[in-house]
Chains A and B, each alone.
Chain A
């Protein structure tokens, strides 16, 4: 058994580690969180888990396999290439949830970009009462209550879940479509343009004087980095 392999870029991979990651991912029906994958490897891999996954996917590409690994919901998971998915589905009755209604999509979008947000704030944006639709989103575990707002009545605050990420096929909130700008800009409005570490991001943006709205992800990330470095 050879213990190492080298990819096109000439990076060395410990075969044992690569296989271990492959084995763990293969066994996991849910997306395997990155932090758990890191625990799998005893020593810290030089290129990180991501490079091992890329390496595996390169192999699958080269061998023309029916599956790949992809980043989803802050983790990694095997999936079938679309061509095979449609074929395989004939043999298994894959249970799919109903699609969201336009009201459901609208509401979950508002929660995703504005989280944490109260139902009252959602209703203000939508212009209609949203009891039922928020309830449905809760039942489908796409959103969850995360606490209460510090104001009269202490209304519940809602945020999206990791199932939300899975449902829309994204690895984190930065992959949501960009919100269009609203001009003139309202002062004091803070939008979550897809940053997971919302508070960190918001405070970083505040400190650096960046308005936390519709910044591109990379910009937001650099801002955060700069702050933490300084």
Chain B
């Protein structure tokens, strides 16, 4: 930061603040330089219409330095404000020539107006946050509409690979009940099952996993069907969704 040197000189001549005067080091999210300035002003019960620019500038720069020391990225707006503060301070330090600077010509005015304007929206947004929280406690008629299973938008959770595997595991448990001892050649391929799934989804947009797999089939059937599903997901022909974790998995055709 090239500005550091200059800013340093600007407030070196000012008496260092005592422990009590200095603002407590506090890292919290500020929404921008105006927010930070308001915090400094409010924290010290400073009259916003009569900001002690030297003091505030010093604290502001301390804060920026601290952020940099902590390797936090300091947005350009913060630096711009630092420059603005220093400019105002410089103007205040300049000797006043008689008649040249009237009461109205306070170099702080623009900054004060910006702070006041920002503050009213900040205050309004704080009240709106309370409204937001209150509203979240209310359950409205439409909040139930997600229960309709026919609309894809209402599916809330993307089924992960883990969910698919778990669902597959459940299906396998169903198949595990019947032990097989014969060695048979099963005439079933992934391609076949891919076509089967696509055929099922031809006339309907979606189906559930349990509906998709036929009951009482050999384990191999389920394995192949599962592989076919994964293949279709990979090809982005279908997607898998569920209402909630551990819920039924729905297979949805992607157009």
Chain B interface residue count, Cβ-Cβ cutoff 8 angstroms: 45
- Chain B residues with CB under 8 Å of chain A are 29, 31-35, 75, 77, 81, 113-114, 116-129, 131-147, 156, 243-244
Identify which of A80, A112, A125 contacts B138 (C-beta below 8 A). A80
Contacts of A88 in B (CB 8 A): 139
Contacts of B141 in A (CB 8 A): 25-26, 28-29, 77-79
| A143-195 interface (Cβ within 8 A of B) | 167-170, 176-177, 179-183, 186
The contact string, 1 if C-beta is below 8 Å from chain B, for chain A 125-139, is: 111110000000000
Contacts of A181 in B (CB 8 A): 120
A-B contact pairs, 30 of them (CB 8 A): A29-B145, A77-B140, A77-B142, A78-B141, A79-B141, A82-B137, A85-B137, A85-B139, A88-B139, A93-B156, A95-B156, A100-B132, A102-B29, A106-B122, A108-B125, A108-B128, A112-B128, A125-B121, A127-B33, A127-B118, A129-B75, A168-B128, A168-B131, A168-B132, A176-B124, A177-B124, A179-B120, A179-B124, A180-B123, A182-B117
Known A80-B138, A168-B135; contact A125-B117, beta-carbon cutoff 8 A: yes
A183 to B120, CA, bound (A): 11
Interface of chain B, helix or strand or loop or mixed?
A: helix
Q: Contacts A77-B141, A102-B29 given; 20 further ones with Cβ under 8 A?
A: A29-B144, A31-B142, A79-B141, A80-B139, A89-B139, A94-B146, A95-B143, A99-B132, A100-B129, A110-B121, A125-B121, A126-B31, A127-B81, A128-B31, A168-B128, A168-B132, A169-B131, A176-B128, A179-B124, A180-B119
A47 to B141, CA, bound (A): 25
Contacts of B138 in A (CB 8 A): 79-80, 82, 85, 169
For the complex, is A216 an interface residue (Cβ under 8 Å from B)?
no
For the complex, is A196 an interface residue (Cβ under 8 Å from B)?
no
Q: Is the CB of A105 within 8 A of B129?
A: yes
Q: Is the CB of A126 within 8 A of B124?
A: no
Known A79-B140, A88-B139; contact A128-B131, beta-carbon cutoff 8 A: no
Contacts of A79 in B (CB 8 A): 138-141
Identify which of B34, B128, B137 contacts A127 (C-beta below 8 A). B34
By CB atoms of chain A within 10 A, which of B131, B134, B144 has the most?
Answer: B131
Q: How many A-B residue pairs have CB under 8 A?
A: 129
| A58-116 interface (Cβ within 8 A of B) | 72, 77-80, 82, 84-86, 88-89, 92-96, 99-100, 102-103, 105-106, 108-110, 112-113
Q: Is the CB of A180 within 8 A of B125?
A: no
A177 to B128, CA, bound (A): 7
Identify which of A77, A167, A170, A186 contacts B113 (C-beta below 8 A). A186
Identify which of A86, A94, A126, A169 contacts B135 (C-beta below 8 A). A169
- Chain A residues with CB under 8 Å of chain B are 25-26, 28-31, 72, 77-80, 82, 84-86, 88-89, 92-96, 99-100, 102-103, 105-106, 108-110, 112-113, 125-129, 167-170, 176-177, 179-183, 186
Q: Which residue of B lies closest to A88 (CB)?
A: B139
Identify which of B34, B143, B147 contacts A126 (C-beta below 8 A). B34
Contacts of A109 in B (CB 8 A): 121, 124-125, 128
Contacts of B243 in A (CB 8 A): 93
Contacts of B35 in A (CB 8 A): 127
Q: Is the CB of A180 within 8 A of B120?
A: yes
A170 to B244, CA, bound (A): 30
In the assembled complex, the CB of A125 is this many whole angstroms from the nearest CB of chain B, namely: 6
Identify which of A99, A102, A167, A169 contacts B125 (C-beta below 8 A). A102
Contacts of B124 in A (CB 8 A): 109, 113, 176-177, 179
A168 to B124, CA, bound (A): 13
A113 to B123, CA, bound (A): 12
A115 to B236, CA, bound (A): 42
Q: Is the CB of B132 within 8 A of A129?
A: no
Q: Which residue of A lies closest to B116 (CB)?
A: A182
9 pairs of A and B residues whose beta carbons are closest in the complex: A128-B32, A169-B135, A29-B142, A85-B139, A78-B141, A109-B125, A177-B127, A127-B34, A105-B125
A102 to B29, CA, bound (A): 9
